[in-house]
Amino acid sequence: MEGVIPVPDPPDTPSGPDPAADGRRWEQLITEAQTALPVELPALVDRCASALGLGTVLIYLADLQQRLLIPLDEALESLPVDRSSAGWAYRTISPRVADADDGLIVWMPLLDGAERLGVLAVRVTSLDGVLMRRVRMLAHLFAMIISSKRAYSDWLAARTRTAPMGLPAEMVRAFLPPRTIGSSRCVSTAVLEPAYGIAGDAFDHTVVKHELHTMILDGMGHDLIAGLTTSVAMAAARNTRRGGGDLTDIVGSVDQALAQWLPDHFCTGVLCRLDTETGVLRWVNCGHPPPLLIRDDRVLAGALDSSPQPPLGLAGPLAPAARQIHETKLEPDDCVLLYTDGVVEARDANGAEFGLDRFTEFIIHSNVAGQRPAEVLRLLIHAIFDYQRNQLRDDATIVLFEWRPRPQ
């Protein structure tokens, strides 16, 4: 089970001659984990593994673009996500067992809820069901530890970067949520490129009780002010959400905040609210490409189109009198795609656009092939990046969310 701290019990964990001593040892290790510096995690995970009767352990975290798995041990080399046993475990969210000179290596995914953080490499001399449960418990524990520490650790942030980051990108990324969030009823995942040079694009998603809120933004321009515009928009939306406001209140607060603090700047965007109990989707489109609805492996053309509305943040006579909120009801396993124009307008060497058809076909074919949503977007954003020869002319951002209701 996700999020369970592994507390030893006699049937499943090593029990020495003094079970009370085992309990005290785990209490000490968990207490130490709360105060350990991120740079001390490689040593701590080995001590926890020893308490579980496992061998040595290495921690690998995915880089910002999800192309590499980077070890926290700075003396080791990174591993490719697309061509390694470690990468297979990361891509599929499944353990992978590989032969080693002195036994076996279990590559176990590190998951923070629905978000893929990286993998553990756990050495064992042999493997059975009990040891596999211990490896899985160790991964659960350290996923929580890493997630709690990365919020304030510049070292962890720097460790997962492979290039210098521009100031606008640094500012926007300070506001971005995790790439993937979810519950038993829904999942939302997002990607954004260029990873180190974004400025005007941003996304947001969160779960409020039984509601999934998602948002995609495209700021005017491609500079620090564009990043500031989308950052203010995200802050205004969160402020109103956390105050209990509905979708109408949220879009109104974004309009007001931008008109007040950045009156000469605006951004386009789509804001959505999905009731994960009923499947009712409400959305507002502010001058942005319309969302796409994928059902039964095909795009329902025009299903989420709506009448044009002005961008967010327009003041004075250009300000809309009232925002139109639209509503529809999703069916189980429906997918909704939000994207910025940099996705479909990416051009190859001959000037041909990546295009909406290629974009949606990639999503559908990946879904049919059984890829999970986060992996679908990872592959897609790499395909777009490669299509434009690693030189995007504009930010490209995609948000994909699915409704997965519980069986009745």
Whether residues 147 and 216 share a domain: the answer is no
Residue 11 counted as domain residue: no
Amino acid 2: pLDDT: 38
Residue 103 near residue 124 (C-beta atoms within 8 A): yes
Q: Among 158, 187, 213, identify where a domain stops.
A: 158
Find the distance separating the first CA and the last CA of the chain, reported in whole Å: 22
Calpha distance 373→137 (Å, rounded): 24
Residue type at 58? L
Whether residues 148 and 229 share a domain: the answer is no
Whether residues 148 and 281 share a domain: the answer is no
| Total number of domains constituting the chain | 2
Amino acid 161: pLDDT: 97
Residue 6 counted as domain residue: no
Please give the structure tokens belonging to residue 3: 């999020």
| 396-403 vs 201-208, strand pairing mode | unpaired
Q: In what order do the strands lie in the sheet with 96-100?
A: 79-80, 68-71, 57-62, 115-124, 103-112, 96-100
- Residue reference for tokens 């629905």: 114
Q: Among 93, 124, 158, identify where a domain stops.
A: 158
Q: What is the pTM of this model?
A: 0.90
Q: What is the residue range of 46's domain? A: 19-158
Whether residues 150 and 30 share a domain: the answer is yes
Calpha distance 108→191 (Å, rounded): 23
Tens digits of pLDDT across the chain (408 residues): 333 334 344 344 444 557 788 788 888 898 899 999 999 999 999 999 999 999 999 999 999 999 999 999 999 999 999 999 999 999 999 999 999 888 999 999 999 989 999 999 999 999 999 999 999 999 999 999 999 999 889 999 999 999 999 999 999 999 999 999 988 899 999 999 999 998 889 999 999 999 999 999 999 888 899 999 999 999 999 999 999 999 999 999 999 999 999 998 999 999 999 999 999 999 999 999 999 999 998 999 899 999 889 999 987 777 788 899 999 999 999 999 999 998 988 888 888 889 999 999 999 999 888 889 999 999 999 999 888 887 777 889 999 999 999 764
Whether residues 51 and 170 share a domain: the answer is no
The beta-strand segments (E) located in 166-200 are 180-182, 186-193
Q: Among 112, 131, 158, identify where a domain stops.
A: 158
Whether residues 261 and 370 share a domain: the answer is yes
Residue type at 48? C
Q: How far is CA 156 from the centre of its chain?
A: 16
Instruction: Check residue 222 and report its DSSP letter.
Output: S
Alpha carbons within 13 A on the beta-carbon side of 303:
19
Whether residues 117 and 86 share a domain: the answer is yes
Calpha distance 289→355 (Å, rounded): 13
Residue 8 counted as domain residue: no
**Contacts for 100 with CB less than 8 Å, ≥ 6 apart:** 123
Whether residues 146 and 239 share a domain: the answer is no
Calpha distance 106→118 (Å, rounded): 13
Measured CA to CA in angstroms, residue 36 lies from 1, 46, 142 at distances of 25, 13, 12
DSSP characters for 327-388? EEE--TT-EEEEE-HHHHT-B-TT--B--HHHHHHHHHHHHHTT--HHHHHHHHHHHHHHHT
Whether residues 180 and 75 share a domain: the answer is no
Residue 4 counted as domain residue: no
Whether residues 169 and 150 share a domain: the answer is no
CATH number at residue 150: 3.30.450.40
Residue 3 counted as domain residue: no
CATH number at residue 327: 3.60.40.10
Residue 318 counted as domain residue: yes
Residue 1 counted as domain residue: no
Residue 294 near residue 235 (C-beta atoms within 8 A): no
Residue 240 near residue 250 (C-beta atoms within 8 A): yes
Whether residues 169 and 296 share a domain: the answer is yes
Long-range CB contacts for residues 354-363, cutoff 8 Å, separation at least 24: 354/384, 354/387, 354/388, 360/292, 360/294, 360/299, 363/294, 363/335, 363/337, 363/400
C-alpha dihedral sign at 33, 36, 39, 44: negative
Amino acid 347: pLDDT: 86
Q: Which of 118, 115, 138 is nearest to 53 (CA)?
A: 138
Residue 13 counted as domain residue: no
Phi and psi torsions of 284, nearest 5°: -135, 135
C-alpha dihedral sign at 281, 328, 299, 367: positive
Whether residues 150 and 184 share a domain: the answer is no
pLDDT per residue as tens digits for the range 122-162: 999 999 999 999 999 999 999 999 999 998 899 999 999 99
